[in-house]
Structure 1
Amino acid sequence: MWRAILVLAGLLLAMPVSATEACREDIVHIRTEISELSFEIELAASPQDRSRGLMFRESLPLQAGMLFVFERPQRVAFWMKNTLIPLDMIFVDSSGTVTRIHANAVPHDETPIAGGDGVFAVLEINGGLADHYGIMAGSEMRHPVFSQGPAVWPC
């Protein structure tokens, strides 16, 4: 039942992206084959912020997430230790291209979730939303962190 409510709320609350909307530090835009949407995000750019991530949070607003940004593209792996809510992990290269999705990561699971090589950023959102919105490998992300480019969807 709660899953149906989450999907319905997502349809009603999805924030469409305006072509003229400026890039902001607290918003990430995603362009898929079928839609453009945005999420309000917290930026996790320091090692301390990345290590804490979304641990210990009991909920995450529907159109919210956390964008983990690394100093340079690299091999990364995440886990769900001390994370209380299921999450989709969207792995992105330095151009803003989605390279991999890990859907519905299980709360408290300590199994490493590998993102592959060349990961520059990871967007974590509520579990199931990537599939719901059609976010997949090849989708494009726009945010100021990709401005060093070459960005596939520049600000």
Structure 2
Amino acid sequence: MGKRIETRLIAAVLALFALTQVASAACQPGKIELAGERGVVSFDVSVADSFASRGRGLMFVKDMADSAGMLFIYGVTRPVSFWMKNTYIPLDMIFIDRRGVVKKVHANAVPHDTTSISSDVPIRSVLEINGGLAEKLGIGPGTLVRHADLPQTGVAWPC
């Protein structure tokens, strides 16, 4: 076997191994994954899936790691809106539909601003991460999202 073919074969085996490792690590509790044009990124997330936890959100949080975020999950798909009252850090709000596809990103929401930030379309969940990260990581409309607590039937990228 030629050296060039052998190198390609080794690269293919390593790539397959890496893909199987990613697949087996899919949908770990407390992690959300996003797949877009620049590859796959993940965040450690707290889940807000009750009226009270969604109402509090990231209020009063003064510092958050770039690898962290909060996932707001709604029981039904509907338009939602947010504000930044009592929120100390700028946030990117990533609005996700029932199929796990990003529909809208509101970048760098201003701390303490009471202006309503709307999804504009029906969504099932919202991911909040540090302001500016969505653009830096290439997260935008069309990015695929998966998390163990999101619906798994009829989605674009299931667990």
Q: Retained in 2: the 8 A contact 1:103–1:130?
A: yes
Matching residue of 1:79: 83
Q: Secondary structure at the match of 2:151?
A: helix
Whole-Å separation in 1 of the counterparts to 2:50 and 2:86: 19
Whole-Å separation in 2 of the counterparts to 1:122 and 1:97: 11
Matching residue of 2:158: 154
Q: Retained in 1: the 8 A contact 2:152–2:158?
A: no
Question: Cα RMSD between the aligned structures?
Answer: 1.2
Q: Match for 2:64 among 60, 65, 75?
A: 60
Matching residue of 2:95: 91
State the structure with more CA Rg.
Answer: 2
After superposition, give the CA deviation of every residue in 1:98-120 in whole Å (9 maximum; x if it has no partner). Answer: 00000000000000000122110
Aligned-partner residue type, residue 85 of structure 1: I
Does 2:131 correspond to 1:107? Answer: no
Q: Which runs of 5+ in 1 are unaligned?
A: 1-16
Whole-Å separation in 2 of the counterparts to 1:129 and 1:72: 27
Matching residue of 1:5: none
Moved runs in structure 1, 4+ residues, more than 6 A?
none
Q: Which runs of 5+ in 2 are unaligned?
A: 1-20
What is the identity percentage for the equivalent residue pairs of Structure 1 and Structure 2? 46
Greater strand proportion: 1
Matching residue of 2:5: none
Whole-Å separation in 2 of the counterparts to 1:24 and 1:48: 24
Q: Secondary structure at the match of 1:51?
A: helix
Whole-Å separation in 1 of the counterparts to 2:23 and 2:124: 25
TM-score (norm 2): 0.84
Matched pairs, number? 139
C-alpha displacement of 1:150: 1.0
